[in-house]
C-alpha cells in the first residue's frame, strides 16, 4: 500500500507545481503584454505626475510653484516631442512646436526662483491648493484612442487645464512680478489652446 501511496503523492505534487508554474507564466505573459501595449502618451502623462508628486514642499511659494510647474512643462515638451516623432496631423505638429518653444522659454525663467529659502507665511494653504489644482490630470475618465494624434489632444486638454489652475493658485498667493506675469500668460494662452484642441477633436 505504501509503495502505491508515495508515487501518488509525488504525482499530485507534480501536477500542482505544474499548474502553479503555468499560472505564473500566464501572469508574466499578460503583464508583459500590458507593458508592451501601454499607451505612450498616457505613460508620459503618468511619469510627469509622478515627478510632480515627488517634489517635497520647501515652504517657499515661489520655489514650490516653480519646481512643480517646471516638471509640468517638461511633461508637455515630452508629449509634444512624441507627437512630432510619431504623429501624422500637421495642425497638431504646428501646435506641438509652439508648445515646445514656449515651455522651454518658461522653464528657463522659472529656474531663477528654485533656490530661494525664505518661508512663506501661507505656505501650507498654498501647497494644498497647488496640489488640488492637478485634479484635471488625475481624471481616470480621460478618453484613450490609441491614436497618437487624438491621444495627444485628449491628454493635453487636462494637462493645459491643470497648468491654468496651478497658475491661478499662484496669482492668488504669489508675490514675484515675473512669475505673476508668467501665470497671466499661462491662463490666457493655454485657455485659448484648450479650446483649439477641443475644436480639433470634434472635427477629427
pLDDT tens digits, residue range 27-86? 443 433 343 457 888 888 778 777 776 667 889 999 999 999 999 999 999 999 999 999
Q: What's the whole-model pTM score? A: 0.77
Packed helices 177-203 and 148-173: angle between N→C axes, nearest 10 degrees:
150
Residues 70 and 29 both lie in one domain: no
pLDDT in tens, 113-124: 988 889 999 999
Q: Are residues 132 and 188 in the same domain?
A: yes
Q: Total structural domains in the chain?
A: 2
Q: Which three cell numbers stand for residue 86?
A: 510619431
d(CA 66, CA 121): 17
Residues 30 and 105 in one domain: no
Residues 9 and 95 grouped into a single domain: no
User: How large is the average pLDDT for residues 197-202?
Assistant: 96
- The answer to whether 179 and 113 are in contact (CB under 8 A) is yes
Q: Is 119 left (phi over 0), alpha (psi -120 to 50) or beta?
A: beta
Q: Which domain holds residue 142?
A: 39-203
What is the number of other CB atoms lying within 10 angstroms of the CB of residue 33? Answer: 10
Amino acid at each position: 500500500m505504501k509503495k502505491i501511496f508515495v508515487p501518488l503523492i509525488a504525482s499530485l505534487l507534480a501536477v500542482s507545481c505544474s499548474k502553479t508554474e503555468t499560472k505564473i507564466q500566464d501572469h508574466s505573459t499578460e503583464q508583459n503584454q500590458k507593458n508592451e501595449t501601454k499607451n505612450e502618451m498616457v505613460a508620459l502623462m503618468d511619469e510627469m505626475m509622478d515627478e510632480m508628486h515627488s517634489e517635497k514642499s520647501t515652504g517657499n511659494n515661489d520655489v514650490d510653484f516653480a519646481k512643480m510647474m517646471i516638471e509640468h512643462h517638461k511633461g508637455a515638451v515630452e508629449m509634444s516631442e512624441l507627437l512630432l516623432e510619431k504623429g501624422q496631423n500637421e495642425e497638431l505638429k504646428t501646435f506641438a512646436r509652439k508648445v515646445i518653444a514656449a515651455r522651454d522659454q518658461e522653464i528657463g525663467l522659472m529656474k531663477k526662483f528654485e533656490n530661494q529659502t525664505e518661508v512663506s507665511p501661507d505656505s501650507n494653504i498654498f501647497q494644498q491648493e497647488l496640489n488640488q489644482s492637478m485634479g484635471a490630470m488625475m481624471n481616470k475618465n480621460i478618453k484613450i484612442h490609441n491614436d497618437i494624434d487624438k491621444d495627444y489632444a485628449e491628454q493635453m486638454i487636462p494637462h493645459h487645464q491643470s497648468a491654468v489652475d496651478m497658475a491661478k493658485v499662484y496669482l492668488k498667493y504669489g508675490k514675484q512680478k515675473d512669475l505673476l506675469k508668467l501665470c497671466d500668460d499661462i491662463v490666457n494662452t493655454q485657455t485659448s489652446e484648450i479650446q483649439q484642441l477641443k475644436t480639433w477633436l470634434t472635427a477629427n
